[in-house]
Amino acid sequence: MKKLLCLVAVCLVLFAAGTALAADKIVVRVAHTIAPDSHYNKGLEHLGKLLGEATNGQIELQIFHSSQLGSERDAIEGVSMGTLEMTLVSSAPLANFTNAFLVFDLPFIIQDRQKAYAWMDGPEGRKILDSVLSKGMVGLGIWENGFRMLTNSKRPVAVPDDLKGLKIRLMENPIHVGTFKTLGAYPVPMPFGELFTALQQSTVDGQENPLIIISTSKFAEVQKYLSLTGHFYAPAILLINKDFWEKTLTEEQRKIFTEAELKARHWEREFCIEIEKQLVGDLKAQGMEITEPDKAKFFEAVQPVYKEFEEKVGKEAIQKLVDAQK
The answer to whether residue 16 sits within a structural domain is no
Residues 76 and 169 in one domain: no
Domain count, the chain: 2
What is the pLDDT tens value at each position of the chain, 326 positions in all? 444 444 434 444 344 434 334 448 999 999 999 999 999 999 999 999 999 999 999 999 999 999 999 999 999 999 999 999 999 999 999 988 999 999 999 999 999 999 999 999 999 999 999 999 999 999 999 999 999 999 999 999 999 999 999 999 999 899 999 999 999 999 999 999 999 999 999 999 999 999 999 999 999 999 999 999 999 998 999 999 999 999 999 999 999 999 999 999 999 999 999 999 999 999 999 999 999 999 999 999 999 999 999 999 999 999 999 999 99
**What pLDDT sits at residue 234?**
83
**What pLDDT sits at residue 139?**
98
Q: Which domain holds residue 34?
A: 23-145+234-277
The answer to whether residue 184 sits within a structural domain is yes
Provide the CATH number for the domain around residue 226: 3.40.190.170
Residues 193 and 308 in one domain: yes
The answer to whether residue 1 sits within a structural domain is no
**What pLDDT sits at residue 24?**
85
The answer to whether residue 254 sits within a structural domain is yes
**What pLDDT sits at residue 150?**
98
Residues 40 and 116 in one domain: yes
The answer to whether residue 10 sits within a structural domain is no
**What pLDDT sits at residue 13?**
39
Residues 192 and 158 in one domain: yes
Alpha-carbon span 175 to 308, nearest angstrom: 9
What does each C-alpha distance from 86 to 61, 80, 82 come to in angstroms? Answer: 10, 9, 9
- The residues, any chain, with a CB within 8 Å of residue 168's CB and separated by 6 or more, are 150, 152, 180, 185, 186, 187, 188, 204, 205, 206, 207, 208
Residues 229 and 239 in one domain: no
Alpha-carbon span 156 to 83, nearest angstrom: 44
pTM > 0.75: yes
**What pLDDT sits at residue 58?**
97
Residues 30 and 41 in one domain: yes
Residues 164 and 272 in one domain: no
